[in-house]
Amino acid sequence: MAGPAAPEQGAGEDVVSERSERPAAHEYDPFYAGYIARVPEGDIVRILDRQLEETLRPLRGLDERGASFAYAAGKWTVREVVGHLCDAERVFAYRALRIARGDTIDLPGFDENAWAPAAGHDDRPLAERLDELAAVRRATMLLLESLPDEAWRRVGSANGSPASVRAIATVIAGHELHHRAVLAERYLARLAAPRPG
């Protein structure tokens, strides 16, 4: 995925600085603090562009058997984790869109555990799920790149808590990093371990 163009001198610098500013604690629900803490400093749109490839790379080498792996009974498969990343990013991006446009309605939450069985994530090949995640990310980036600087500071409400556009963008990145770590530690490490005789 090609990264965003370098900012031009002048007006574009304000947007880059807004995209680089960390969200303040009053801009998001405390539940998301752990996700936000995972995200490095910098332009969040560029971070989102860079980090997706780092998430996709180890998953591209999995066969369908590996994609069906769950590390424990009742846990998601690799395909379902990727599907969850797609679902969650769509919801977060929708929230960012509405808040960026000045919407003041409290946006509803979602229950990822209720969505997973209804989604049929395991019904399609992993390669299709990975392509979908890349497409969702590209759409998210195009949305975020299009926002004027004042939109990044707007704070709305999601699931009864404050949510700024910059906080939502940072949560998208942190949520992905959280699941990348889970995939590496609980899925890919076990799949790579030698199997007993």
Q: Is 144 helix (H, G, I), strand (E, B) or coil?
A: helix
Mean pLDDT value across residues 61-82: 97
Per-residue pLDDT, averaged over 172-184, amounts to 98
**188-to-77, 142, 180 alpha-carbon distances in Å:** 11, 31, 10
Quick one: tokens of 122? 């395991």
Would you state the pLDDT for residue 4?
43
What is d(CA 39, CA 32) in angstroms, rounded to the nearest whole number?
A: 12
Task: Label residue 16 by pLDDT band (50, 70, 90).
Answer: low
By CB neighbour count within 10 A (0-12 exposed, 13-18 middle, 19+ buried), where does 38 fall? middle
Question: Cβ(76)–Cβ(122) under 8 Å?
Answer: no
Across 8-17, 65-74, 98-107, 116-125, least confident range? 8-17
Q: pLDDT-derived band of residue 35, with 50, 70 and 90 as boundaries?
A: very high
Least confident of 5-14, 31-40, 152-161: 5-14
Element (H, E) at 128: helix 126-146
Cα 86 to Cα 186: distance, rounded to the nearest angstrom: 20
pTM, entire model: 0.90
Q: What pLDDT, on a 0 to 100 scale, did the predictor assign at position 8?
A: 41
Instruction: Report the 3 state secondary structure along 47-64.
Output: HHHHHHHHHHHHHHCCCH
Q: Give 197's pLDDT tier (boundaries 50, 70, 90).
A: low
Domains of the chain and CATH, by start: 26-192 (1.20.120.450)
- Interval 84-93: pLDDT, tens: 999 999 999 9
